[in-house]
Amino acid sequence: MIRRLIRQMLFAQIFSALTVSVCLLIDSVIIGRYLGVEALSAYQLASPVLLVLAAFGSMLAAGIQVACSKSLGKGSQEETNRGYSSAIVLGFGVAFSLMLFVFLFRSFIARASGAGSEGTLFTDTRDYMTAFVIGAPATMGALILVPFLQIAGQSGILVAAVLAMTVTDIALDLVNVFVVHGGMFGMGLASAISYYCALIVGGWYFFTKKCVFKFSLKQVSFAKMREMLAGGLPSLINMAAGVVLVVVLNQILLGTGGALAVAAFSVISTIGNSANCVSTGINGVTLTLSGILYQEEDRTGLKVLIQTMARSSVFLGIVVGAVLILCAPLFARFFITEDSPARDMAVTGIRLYSAGMIPICLTAALKSSYQGMEKTRLTELISVMEQLVFPAVGALILSRFLGTFGVWFYFVSGELLTLLMIAVLIRQRTKSAPWRDGAYLLLNDSFGVPADQLMETDIATLEDAVRVSQEAEQFCLERGQSSRLSKRIALCIEEMAANVIDHGFKKDDKPHRLSVRLLHKEDSWVIRFRDDCRAFDPVHYIPAEGKDALGIRLTLAMADEAQYTYSLSLNNLALRLPGEREEAS
């Protein structure tokens, strides 16, 4: 079930990331083609402001994923709602603060970016960032709602929102260039309006009865805000390091190749951002699932997650890398006219960029899993080295010998060195090869449930339900549990599985799966049911009458604790029963 869930989530994450990057790519193409190379340089110089806004949004989105993964792993829908309410208030508060700051200091920011203090480059840089930041609340809102749409299993709405943003942005860009002639201010305003369109389309779900989250000002919690900020701090550091890297590379390029080199870098980074949709997708999926699996102490699930992501990383990295190599001249032609030397620079840079695609995907899988497993310091270290130190040092050293050509090695050198650093750290901490027996997870031996205290299986039919319930009874008896408790556990599995099959599997013609996990820990037994049928909460919405009502009531009565959540299009039910050993005769 995990592999199937990964495929579903990964497609939606990559598609949405690709569409957003295509939106930025279209901006660059139109600016470069119709407003000129100097306008393209201004776009690149303004990009740190865009990245700062994205950095705070990514921090909150990651913090939401970490915090909600914890609450979902615990089975607490109330705590998840508290996180939802707190995230919305915090997100919009940060967005309005950033918007006000850019408005007040836009000229200073433009000068600090390297655009000078007067002239067309300065004016274009200032105007673009000023107009773009008008959309800060919508940008922030869209970013923080993405993880909630994923958790709610509403990937279709997410895709529709991103498509609406893309279509709107392209249409308004063309209107600006051919009708309004609003220059760089108009380009920034078009992007801002497109984000509001995305927020309207994606946000509509949260006002419907289908929404699984409940907003309330009473649930806004400063403690939850702190938890999300702490959980998302590695993502902020990652993005902040990327912002500093862009500034550093811009300055190096201004010294080695001038505005032409900066324009070429704009093309390379724009194409690179589009290519990195695969690593963005891998990061988002791994962060969410690793957090849930970590809270459930599911060592096997974490192994499957990383192994699946590693295979996906290699495959996607090869495919995307090949596309970059073959299509580099075509991509550069979209942005820069044939008579400009910047085009050849861009082609070379794009092809060198391709060599880092597999490493960045592998690093994204490992780094986001560490963040989901609350290894904050390690995640922060990886982020700083990957996004700033390694690529900046590589570009600085190589530019001394190879000029602008040497700068284009920044990406591949940074990613390869980061992956090597992670391998060395794993070897140092585990005394084992990184790929052997889950060493890459960096988990303590005490993590999770011993294999002899855990039973996991899938159920597809009523016959399976009966068989698994009998196996569970025998499993408990063999571990010294009383006959009464063993029969209770068996009855819980049979009743709940039969209910899912009768009223979940048979409601449509789609194939469905039910996984059952029985574990013994700390003198109690936990039965976790997980299925991909339509949402149904047996804890709070028991049928009024009939055999099903009797079976569910009986099952819940036998459990000391019952928790239900609906997340990632999955029903999750956890039952806890106290241990009861057989008395010696």
- The Cα 242–Cα 341 span in angstroms is 27
* Residues ≥6 apart with Cβ < 8 Å to 435: none
Task: Tell which of 423, 441, 459 closes a domain.
Answer: 441
Looking at the structure, do residues 276 and 194 belong to the same domain, yes or no? yes
pLDDT at 467: 92
Looking at the structure, do residues 121 and 222 belong to the same domain, yes or no? yes
On whether residue 61 sits in a domain, the answer given is yes
Looking at the structure, do residues 46 and 161 belong to the same domain, yes or no? yes
Task: Tell which of 441, 461, 486 closes a domain.
Answer: 441
Looking at the structure, do residues 422 and 473 belong to the same domain, yes or no? no
CB 60 within 8 Å of CB 90: yes
Residues in a beta bridge with 456: 517
On whether residue 249 sits in a domain, the answer given is yes
Looking at the structure, do residues 398 and 472 belong to the same domain, yes or no? no
pLDDT at 532: 81
Looking at the structure, do residues 246 and 287 belong to the same domain, yes or no? yes
Task: Tell which of 386, 407, 441 closes a domain.
Answer: 441
Alpha helices in 519-568 (DSSP H): 547-558
Looking at the structure, do residues 303 and 388 belong to the same domain, yes or no? yes
- For the chain, which residues score pLDDT lower than 50? 584-585
On whether residue 167 sits in a domain, the answer given is yes
pLDDT at 356: 92
Number of structural domains in the chain: 2
CB 114 within 8 Å of CB 144: no
pLDDT at 315: 93
- Domain hosting 490: range is 451-578
pLDDT at 585: 43
Looking at the structure, do residues 410 and 460 belong to the same domain, yes or no? no
CATH number at residue 564: 3.30.565.10
Looking at the structure, do residues 217 and 355 belong to the same domain, yes or no? yes
Looking at the structure, do residues 186 and 330 belong to the same domain, yes or no? yes
Cβ count within 10 A of residue 319? 12
pLDDT at 242: 80
Pick the closest to residue 352 from 280, 265, 420 (CA basis). Answer: 265
Alpha-carbon dihedral angle through residues 129, 198, 194, 27, given to the nearest 10 degrees: 70
Backbone Cα Rg of the chain: 26
On whether residue 394 sits in a domain, the answer given is yes
On whether residue 240 sits in a domain, the answer given is yes
pLDDT at 357: 93
Looking at the structure, do residues 354 and 425 belong to the same domain, yes or no? yes
pLDDT at 175: 94
Tell me the residue ranges of DSSP E strands in 514-582: 514-521, 524-531, 561-567, 570-578
Instruction: Report the residue count for the chain.
Output: 585
- The Cα 394–Cα 388 span in angstroms is 10
On whether residue 402 sits in a domain, the answer given is yes
pLDDT at 548: 58
On whether residue 483 sits in a domain, the answer given is yes
How is 252-312 classified by DSSP, letter by letter? HHHHHTHHHHHHHHHHHHHHHHHHTHHHHHHHHHHHHHHHHHHHTT-HHHHHHHHHHHHHH
What pTM does this model have? 0.70
pLDDT at 82: 85
Looking at the structure, do residues 458 and 431 belong to the same domain, yes or no? no
On whether residue 585 sits in a domain, the answer given is no
